[in-house]
Structure 1
């Protein structure tokens, strides 16, 4: 069976054919083709997938981590599997944002919002969760032979490369997730570990991306998300007690990156600054 020309397959994708269907079609042609791993076939796939990636608002920079299980295997860039992974992420982010985990009607720092303002806030949160995925995916690009410290440095550099408004939105989304975590678990202020638990939850969101949030909210993967939180608590304790070899936390690095944009950060009310920057974005006209 001959391969269809790339422009025809690309047209099928552009007409919103489900990527899983395209993958199934390509597997069928692969099975019938005398040269299933030919350079031509790989070129077709890469060409189609690059076009799909470029059409997305926040395309990944390279390889991505799978969200189909806790092992988070690496998926090569510009493959049908990578495009399908992004589709899965978007569906799960949409599911997570519809969850009552969030209080988008009257969110922290912002107060009551109109429907249009809520929609604008959800746009910012969706983009921020995609950026959490970008931070997590850096681990795919920085796998062996690079050391974990190199991965963490690259993740911190990525956050530092964001605009002040993007940093504010990311900071706020992560912070809001922490509020949701406490509300859902009904932790009391008297809990001696309440702030550590919030910090670790936010750290896990930055480190593992939207998959962690989805896993936390869903029954099937919730136990693994809990294990990550428990591991994070131990890591935080090790860092606070000065254990050798501990890496800087991403949550702390995000706060530092935002503070670095505020000029004389020591004289700035961090909460008031964050509220004002996010409020301006939420109150802005749609699509600006």
Structure 2
């Protein structure tokens, strides 16, 4: 078989199929491995939103940097895509498609449309999280993960006394990536901002309801964690093993500590991502008064989800097969 045909076929394969194919012939293995960059780049374009650069791993508690356009990156995108579909399908109490926050009761067609919006929004949150893999010093040294188990990041009193390096390399909040993450959020079009707004509010309400503490602060931090960590955090909280669920709890506690210290002026740092998301949505929605802004937001959200039952231009629904 000609090499160009082999390479074209391999681009359509998932990781498991490709690895099985590699095992059949050493010549094929050498050919495919020599074209890893182009195969991975083309494979990435088949997903909802291809990565913009390096990505963070999400198969374990310690997130590793995975270089762009590599087979490791493709494996990570496949993992995320599978988890996103499973989360929406298997967690109806959290992803309430029939009557989501801010929206009326939805028809079956509108629920399918919302599925697409939520999936794209989770992909966008993963892009936001992956910005931490594309800044200077993106790889967090292991000792800063060890600080998690020492609860350094979870108590306001401890947070106020940490070193500058401990603050910058905090794997639970990644403040050194925040300015670029805010810049990315502010570059998004209205439909993506609205979709992410629906997602984080849905997860904020849903995950807060299954916590013992149902206060507003906890909801705010959960929404912030979704924006900072994407699918990795949501999966850890809802479908992860015991260690991953404990880590998700640490992430929330660290966010609470940071919020309290930031609000009191005890620590200096960039503003939260949810704050910037909301402000950007308000700017795009427009309105002379706060009541007008809220009314415009409600109309925009309803139009996005209910609309004419057609997805926005360029959005292709792949949720029909999941139902």
The answer for the alignment partner of 2:253 in structure 1 is 230
Deviations 1:57-95 (A, max 9, x none): 311101111110111101111011111111110111111
Q: TM-score, normalised by structure 2?
A: 0.77
| RMSD over aligned Cα atoms | 2.6
More displaced 10-residue stretch of structure 1: 19-28 or 156-165: 19-28
Q: TM-score, normalised by structure 1?
A: 0.85
SS of match in other structure, 2:285: coil
Partner Cα separation in structure 2 for residue 270 and residue 50 of structure 1: 41
Q: Which residue of 1 aligns with 2:219?
A: 198
Kept after mapping to 1: 8 A contact 2:10/2:39: no
Which piece of structure 1 moves more, 274-283 or 63-72? 274-283
| Alignment-derived partner of residue 95 in structure 1 | 86
CA–CA separation in structure 2 for the residues paired with 1:48 and 1:229: 38
Query: Can you give the 5+ residue segments of structure 2 that lack an aligned partner in the other structure?
Result: 140-167, 169-173, 313-323
In 2 relative to 1, CA 8–235 (structure 1 residues): closer, same or farther, beyond 3 Å?
Answer: same
Matches within 5 A, 1:156-195: 156-185=182-211, 187=213, 194-195=215-216
For residue 10 of structure 2, what is the aligned residue in structure 1? 12
Match of 1:217 among 238, 249, 252: 238
2:99 corresponds to which residue? 106
Distance in 1 between the 2:181 and 2:201 partners? 18
Match of 1:56 among 47, 51, 54: 47
Please say if residues 168 and 278 of structure 1, whose CA atoms lie closer than 8 Å, have aligned partners that are also in contact: yes
The change in CA–CA distance for 1:65 and 1:265 in structure 2 (over 3 A counts) is farther
Q: Do 1:6 and 1:44's aligned partners in 2 also have CA atoms closer than 8 Å?
A: no
Gaps of 5+ in 1: 189-193
Query: In the alignment, which residue of structure 2 is the partner of 1:75?
Result: 66
Q: Paired residue for 1:126? A: 119
- Residue 113 of structure 1, CA deviation: 0.8
Which residue in the other structure is 2:17 paired with?
A: 21
